[in-house]
Amino acid sequence: MAVPLPGALWAEAPLETRIFCSVLLFSWAVYLWEALLAWRQRTVYKTTTHVPLELGPIMDSETFEKSRLYQLDKSAFSFWSGLYSEIEGTVILLCGGIPFLWSVSGELSGRAGFGPEYEIVQSLMFLLLATLFSAVTGLPWSLYNTFVIEEKHGFNQQTLGFFFKDALKKFVVTQCILLPVTSLLLYIIKIGGDYFFIYAWLFTLVVSLVLVTIYADYIAPLFDKFIPLPEGELKQQIETMAKSIDFPLTKVYVVEGSKRSSHSNAYFYGFFKNKRIVLFDTLLEDYSALNKEHPEDSASEPLGHEGDGEDVESKAKAKNKKQGCKNEEVLAVLGHELGHWKLGHTIKNIVISQMNSFLCFFLFAVLIGRKELFAAFGFYDTQPTLIGLLIIFQFIFSPYNEVLSFCLTVLSRRFEFQADAFARELGKAKDLYSALIKLNKDNLGFPVSDWLFSMWHYSHPPLLERLQALKESKQD
């Protein structure tokens, strides 16, 4: 008796079965690839126990060991959380979790008086339940990451009460944005006719631009306090540098990031002639609350810690060393960030993002009529638009998304080198050199990486590569 070959069985299988199996196999292939890369990098963490010679002048052995242990803990956490996520996703697909949740959404909508003809209402209920499920299953991992790993290595500044209040606030704000936007998008797709993909793309373009515009003014302040940078030497120097490159700066803010974490950051936002710069207080040596010996000292800070309810919940932790950068180094970091604007990196990223969005919506319009795509995931009698978006954008496009993500990572590293070069042209090479070292120490970044892991994951070049590029002219 002849035994059918696997290829023959595959060819004879229904199309929807082949689609489902392909999605599942590709998902596990990506996971195994990521696990291989993580194992290579973890091997680097384990075996590189002494400061390499080239790092001797910029990193002491104590900081090196702290960063090594921090990255080892993060790597282990990433492995187990990634494995759980992959298993959870596989179980949901194999057990028909998506059609089950759609059915539950229909029942709940029906009890509220909305029958099957109200597909958008059922879609919003599905979205609410799906995001709630994701938030609940992700909560233990988030708690462990914050209160075990980040706490152990001195980064966490949150209390448990602050954490839960913050998580609840994030969930509510997300729903307030996600549900109305999704309902309008589904409506546009329903009534858009043959060219709905153009209207859907234009709608998402407008929404993304609006969100970018209002985020720092109306959304971010719901979670962190934003305070205008006080008048003084640093503000004058920032305004002078912005004017020298024609950056239309209108305001400079300091955000109290130290209430949740001691990690540091800086960014700018806004369109046209209305640009703002945001500095995390943990970036500024003169303003960081983490540099105070006693928590109560923060009450006298010029940034105005008024001691509100969130301040009570936020834990102030004494540090043995100062965190953040000096004013000259902050200016160098901003010179790098403004280089992204001057060199058109922000616009280029927006254009690439929107070209990709348009292509995806066009392909969605081509594929949405294929009933076998819905049947592959358990939808035999109905083809809801939201489910079509989920299947096509998340599952069918996954190979394309992986390739695109890698290409954008490569492009991002190129942009970072260019922004460093721009800061160097501003005469900030020496200060940027020292700022990068300080920020790497403050954030316990490990300066040694596996080349393949770095190539695939790092949107910023490794520290040594950036320092080498600056080294030639850091005396300028």
The residues that are catalytic are 337
3-class secondary structure, 300: helix
CB 49 within 8 A of CB 424: no
Burial class (CB in 10 A: 0-12, 13-18, 19+), 458: middle
The sign of the torsion formed by the CA atoms of 448, 453, 457, 461 equals positive
Longest pairwise C-alpha distance within the chain: 88
Q: Which long-range contacts (CB under 8 A, 24 or more apart) does 137-140 make?
A: 137/88, 139/167
CA 389/CA 373 separation, integer angstroms: 11
State the distance between the two ends of the chain, measured CA to CA, in whole angstroms.
Answer: 81
Quote the crossing angle between the two packed helices 345-367 and 327-342, to the nearest 10°: 50
The rounded distance, in Å, linking the Cα atoms of 68 and 71 is: 5
DSSP 132-144: HHHHHHHHHHHHH
Q: Do 275 and 250 contact (CB within 8 A), yes or no?
A: yes
Residue type at 453 in one-letter notation: F
Per-residue CA distances from 210 to 202, 205, 213, 266, 349 (Å): 12, 9, 5, 21, 16
Strand residues in 163-282 grouped as ranges (E): 226-228, 249-255, 266-269, 275-280
Residue with tokens 């616009």: 347
Sheet holding 226-228, edge to edge: 226-228, 249-255, 275-280, 266-269
CB-CB contact of 362 with 197 (8 Å): yes
Which of these, 342, 328, 227, lies nearest to 279 by C-alpha position? 227
- How many other C-beta atoms lie within 10 A of the C-beta of residue 116? 10
User: Dihedral of CA 445/451/456/458: which sign?
Assistant: positive
